Amino acid sequence: MYLKKGFKILSLILASIIIFYFFYYSLFQEKKFNPKVMIGSQMPNLQSKTLYKNKVLSLSNIVSNEKFIVNIFASWCAPCKIEHPVLMQLKNSKIKIIGINYKDNQKNAKAFIEKYQNPFEKVLIDSDGALSIQLGAFGVPETFLVDKNFTIIAKHIGPIDNNFVKKVINLK
């Protein structure tokens, strides 16, 4: 009888611990979005008009057999201004950066680049957000590091920093 009662209490405690663990785990799990989904997958061969020449280009027309960076930016995005010097630093390291100008006014985008200098090899226009969706992006700024086989190695949400630069420089 006592053994049966003890077993019941033990089961109750065990069940409580399991339920508590599930709730606790769910509470602290960052489930809102998973930025790692695109890592390791093939970079889509984005195709769009360019900002300066208004000519349709695809990524494979701009880069071949080399690592490169894809950066989503907009003139109206404040964090993009913060990361701009880091992009310039990467440009000076001879790494090609392809800009994706997200839902922007072309005149403002050009003014932005003129004001803060141009780190981009080419800028593709993303007028309706379709290019960003192909990249699995959530907003601006977002940056992708792509290796020479067109595989996405890293994705950074928000303004890039020196850690990202290190990652880029260390990638062969």
- The residue (of 21 and 33) whose beta carbon lies closer to other proteins is 33
Query: Cβ 89 to other proteins, closest distance in Å?
Result: 28
Tell me the number of residues near other proteins by CB under 8 A.
18
- The residue (of 85 and 129) whose beta carbon lies closer to other proteins is 129
Residue closest to 164 by CA, chosen among 66, 97, 116, 107: 97
Query: Cβ 69 to other proteins, closest distance in Å?
Result: 19
Query: Cβ 36 to other proteins, closest distance in Å?
Result: 8
Specify the stretch interacting with other proteins by CB under 8 A; choose among 48-56, 59-67, 105-113, 136-144: 136-144
Region 11-50 residues binding other proteins, contact defined as CB under 8 A: 31-34, 37-38, 41
Half-sphere exposure in the Cβ direction for 145 (13 Å, CA): 20
Pair 99, 107: CB distance under 8 Å: no
- The residue (of 42 and 117) whose beta carbon lies closer to other proteins is 42
Binding site for other proteins (CB under 8 A): 31-34, 37-38, 41, 103, 128-130, 132-136, 138-139
